Each structure stands twice: as C-alpha cells, then as structure tokens.
Structure 1
Amino acid sequence: MWRDKRLKVYLLKAAPETDQFPLLQQVVGNDKEQQPEETKAEGHASGAKSAGDVSEDRFITGLSLLEIEATLVPVLTFEYCNLSVLWQHLRNPAQHAGIILSSPRCVSSISEAVTACDSHNQWNANLLHEWSSKHIYCVGPSTIAKAKQLFSPSNVDSMIVTGQESHAESLGDTIIQDNSQCILTLPLLYPCGTLRRDVLQKKLANANIQCNQCIVYDSVVNPCLKLELEKVSHALKAISDCTAVLCFFSPSGVKYVFQQLDVNVLVNDLVHVVAIGPTTKSALEDYFSSKDISKVVLQCKDPTPESLIDILQFNI
C-alpha cells in the first residue's frame, strides 16, 4: 500500500492545456482587436506547448494532495490545424446530427476555430444554441467537463452523452444504441487529431452511421523529451529507497518514450508500469513482449486521478 512506502510517480503524457478558453472569451467580449495576429491565420493556430509552458495538471494536483511525489514528463506537444475547415462545419449545424468529442483538445479546437474564423460573431448569435440542441458525444470526464465549459451558458447537460467506459470504443457502442430506433440521415461532426485510432469511425460505419471527420490538431514529439527521459532514466537506475511508477497515457506515448528510454530500467522490481486505458495497456504489453521483458502492466479503470490513486493504493 502506497502509504507505507515512498512513491515517485512519472506521468508520461501530452502537455496539458489550460482549463479556460481565453481566446473564445475575447470573441464573446467583442474585443477582437486584441487577438494575436497568428490566431487569425488561414486555418492554422499555434497551440504548441513546450515543456516549460505546462499549466497545472489535474493528476499532479490530485497526487500532491495525498503527498505523493509526481513529475509530469510531457511526451507530446501539438498544433491546431484546418481550423477554417472545422469552422465551415460549425457554421452549418443543420447539416449534422451531432458532434463527437473524443478528447479535451478536440473541444478546444472549436474555440480556436471560432476565434480564428468567426468575424461576424455567429457563434454567440445562433450557432452555440443550435449545436447545444444536438447530441454531444464525449469520451471521458475531462472531455465532458470541457464541453460543458465551452457550451455554457446553454443548458447542455441533457444533450451530453458518454460511453459506459472512458474510451472511444465504448462511446461507439453508446452512439449505436442511442440511434438504434432510427436511421441517422445526417452525419456526426468528428474533429480529431492526427494520431487518432480508427476504431470509433469503423464501428460507426459498420452500423451505417456517417461521420464528417476533420483533422484539427497535429501531435508531435516534445523536442525536450530526450532530455526529460535522461533525467527519468538516471533516477530509475539510482532508485533504492522508494517505489517508482511510470504512468503512460497513450499508445503514441509508449512508442515515443521507448524510442529514447532504455527499457532495461524497468527490470527493477521497484519500478511499476501503469496504463491509463486498455489501448495503452495493449501497446505496452506488445512492446514488452517484443523485447522479451516480463513486466506486469496495471490498468486504470478510468482516465482520472482517482483511478490512478486506486491503483497506487491497492496494487503497488
């Protein structure tokens, strides 16, 4: 049990975003003159976050409240793209049955598109209300929270739908069940990233549910990742008086981390590996199998700090 030992937790994930929508708030306040020029570019906005530009992470916060030492290792940074294309979809809610939001970053892409392209304040005039009257399908609690924030002050709670579990495949099952009594004649808008998996779209296509997929952000390796992992590797090799936990948040994170981290540092019994979800767990197990490394991969029930704390409390 973690309270009986000293823990060091390394969170290997994308750099988090801020919880607010400052650019969108500028549009709401009709203060567009203060927008940075780069946000007005044709369909491309700089959303990149460096290792030194990381806002407070809710996992860091949750663990620190329990006096667990946690370190964020940003694996990925990102840039928004195709915002003008997304805006064209957002301008036409009548052509969509609803919207799929698979991550908080997908939610943020909407605010970025509004900021960059909504020169006539259409979002606040009518589009916000129209989209809020449609089903908003979300993956995970973080996405739900961000969607509620974006669509506020509309009474959107009743229109937000999520899966039984916090992953895309479960949401696909929910969408199919939700529309089992009728045939959707309009597609669902699906803003997503370049590293998306096609599980959700294929599942919906097999059920004759169409999606308008729009790539809205590009994920790239953090340019400081090698340096960050050198620090982690040094700490793991020297570990003796505590237990270390490496928590992975995506299959792409697994790929990029082990391109630069010596996997042999995990052989130590004091080093544990946790996956935030089933696809990440599979990616880790496949990688360990390819290297003939016997390592148990623990999986969080949900992608939340509470689920990670449960793992630490009952499994480590």
Structure 2
Amino acid sequence: MMHDAPCTARQAVMKVLLLKDAKEEGGQDPYVRAAWPTQNLFFRLQELGLHGLEATLIPVLSFEFLSLPTFWEKLSRPEGYGGLIFTSPRAVEAVELSLEQDGKSEGEGRIPPVGDTGFQKSVWKKSLRETWNAKPVYVVGNATASLVKKLGLEAEGESSGNAEKLAEWICSRIPMESIIVYRKIPHPGIQVNLDSYYSKQGIPASIAFFSPSGLTHSLKHVRELSGSSIEQIKFAAIGPTTARALAAQGLPVSCTAESPTPQALAAGIRTALQPHSS
C-alpha cells in the first residue's frame, strides 16, 4: 500500500502523464531533469519522482510569434506606458525575438526575419532597459520571473500564484494596453506521442493539464486511448483556469496545484493518488 510517508523502493510507483508545452532547445524546463534520447519527445521529471511518481511529459503545444515589429515599436516608447506585464515565458521570448528582427516587415512563421540585430540590442542595453526598470514590471510565476531577470529587468508579482490574482490587483489600479505577440497551435506530434505512450506504458494513474488550450488539443486523443478506463484516471490542473476547463469537459478534477510549481503539483497529485482520495 501507499502511505503518506516518503516513498521507498518497495512502494508501487504510480505513472503520471503531463501534457504541456516543452521548453525550446537550450532552455531548462523546471519540471524536466533529462530528455529521453528518442527525438526529445518524452521527458523524465525530477520533482514528481521525488514523490514516488513516474512522470512523463508530452508536448501538446507549439507557438507562433506575431506582431514583433509592432511590439518593438511599443518597447521603444516606454514614456507612453506605466509598466510591463509578462503573462508567460513566451511573452519574454517575444521581447528577445523583437530585439533580433529587422523591423521592416511582420514576417511569417515562428522565426522573424533577421537583419541588423545590433541596433535594437544596443538601444535596449543603453537606455530602454534602464527606463523600463524605473517602472513596475509584473509577472506570473517564478519561471517567467527568472527569464525577465535575464533581460535585465526587475520583476514583481511572481508569488501571486496565478494570472487571475495578479490581474485583479493590477486592473484595479492601472489602465492597460495589450498586444498579442504569440499564439498557441497544436504540437504536430500529439497523437503519435500519445499513441506511443499508451502502447508502451498503458493507462496512467494521473494526467495533468497545464492550460485550457493544451486540454483542447489533446483531450480527444486521451479519451480515445483511455476508453472506459478514463474513469480510473485522476485528472490534475496546474491552476484554477485549467481546472474550470476540465470541469467544463465533464472531467472530475482530483487536484489543482496550490501554485504553478513542480513542487505544488507533485504534492497535489501524490495526495490525490492516496487510497483514501476520491
């Protein structure tokens, strides 16, 4: 039997499937320790392993960056704004890409056209970064905060836990202007990767979703592969928005992470998989 005590080698290891976007090459996903050698599609997860869970990550989302020249124009005019709000690591990546594009055309696809990247970066380092740093820079989550700091900006709000809590505080005080700099698209390997996982690993004890869009693009395959056994699976959500999306699909939410961190998710799943959990 499984107990609340730390897991030992004698206890059964429960299989957990995490469906989220994966870091691009060179980035370190906080949930990931090392990638499996086969096409970098599956990942072993360290934090959940410490809780006696055999976790596998399958990417379900890809990203396409948009409006980068327009974004750069706005970044070049900090005097027109009271601060910055980064809603995800991808938004930070959009800043990095906007410093590398040539600003002559919107471009198509995931990688913007590259021109003289020295000018934008030089202006950012010499003046824009310091000007933006004199204003509040808000983020949601530690992962986004760490990337913002690499840009040379000081972030606040990472401990808010989720976007809703941070937004409630900010919106009551500051008028905002938003710009969409990326969009989520289905990962091209969702079905193949899920087929491979189910054929080799069987039905997971738990499946965790990290966004409503990730749920939308993968749930059909999960239902088809799980069949009637789907009732045995404990579904987990990284936050309240994803939990509501799960409930809207008629799926019981066994746990919602108290904060969007590997530690909180691992603890929630571990508790949900205890024999007394419903």
TM-score by length of 2: 0.76
Instruction: Tell me how far 1:169 sits from its aligned partner.
Output: 1.5
1:89 matched to which residue of 2?
Answer: 74
Q: How many Å apart are 1:217 and its aligned residue?
A: 1.2
Which of 91, 100, 103 is the aligned partner of 1:106? 91
Q: Which residues in structure 2 correspond to 1:106-145 (within 5 Å)?
A: 106-117=91-102, 118-120=117-119, 121-145=122-146
Closer, same or farther: CA 265–145 of 1 in aligned 2, 3 Å: farther
Other-structure match for 2:106? none
Deviation at 1:143, TM superposition (A): 1.1
Q: 1:222 to 1:255 in 2, by over 3 A?
A: same
Equivalent position of 2:210 in the other structure: 249
For 1:11 and 1:313, the matched residues in 2 are separated by 14
Where 1:100 maps in the other structure, the secondary structure is: strand
Deviation at residue 268 of structure 1 after TM alignment: 5.1
Query: Does the alignment pair 1:214 with 2:174?
Result: no
Give the TM-score normalised by structure 1.
Answer: 0.67
Tell me the equivalent position of 2:161.
Answer: 166
Deviating beyond 6 angstroms after TM superposition, the runs of 4 or more aligned structure 1 residues are none
Relative to structure 1, the CA distance from residue 277 to residue 125 in structure 2 (aligned partners, 3 Å threshold; closer, same or farther) is same
- Residue identity over aligned pairs, in percent, reads 30
Residue 220 of structure 2 is matched in structure 1 by 259
- Which residue is 1:43 aligned to? none
Distance change >3 Å, CA 172–CA 277, structure 1 → 2 = same
Partners in 2 of 1:266 and 1:70 — Cα distance? 22
Is the counterpart of residue 9 in structure 1 residue 22 in structure 2? no
How far has the Cα of 1:103 moved from its partner? 0.6
Q: For 2:270, give the aligned amino acid.
A: Q
Distance 1:297 1:65, change over 3 A: closer
1:234 to 199, 219, 233: 199
Q: CA RMSD in A?
A: 2.7
Contact 1:163/1:174 (8 A) holds in 2: no
Q: Structure 1: state its 5+ residue gaps.
A: 21-50, 180-208, 290-294
Structure 2 gaps of 5+ residues are 29-37, 103-116, 274-278
Q: Distance in 2 between matches of 1:254 and 1:127?
A: 38
Taking structure 1 as reference, are residues 296 and 137 closer, same or farther at Cα in structure 2, changes over 3 Å only?
closer
1:269, distance to aligned residue in structure 2 (A): 5.8
Residue 234 of structure 1 aligns with an amino acid whose one-letter code is S
Q: CA deviation at 1:53?
A: 5.6
- Structure-1 separation of matches of 2:184 and 2:253: 28
Contact persistence 1:91–1:127 (CA under 8 A): yes
| 1:262-293 deviation per Cα after TM superposition (whole angstroms, max 9, x unaligned) | 2554745652111111111111111126xxxx
How much does 1:52 deviate?
3.9
Mapped partners of 1:147, 1:269: distance in 2: 41
2-structure distance, mates of 1:176, 1:271? 38
Instruction: Give the one of 170, 173, 177 matched to 1:175.
Output: 170
- Alpha-carbon separation, structure 2, partners of 1:231 and 1:171: 39
- 119 and 217 in structure 1: CA distance in 2 versus 1, 3 angstrom threshold: same
Q: Is the 8 A contact 1:60 1:72 kept in 2?
A: yes
1:85 and 1:53 map into 2 onto residues whose CA distance is 34
Contact 1:281 1:297 in 2 (8 A): no
Partner AA of 2:179 in structure 1: C
Say how many residue pairs are matched.
239
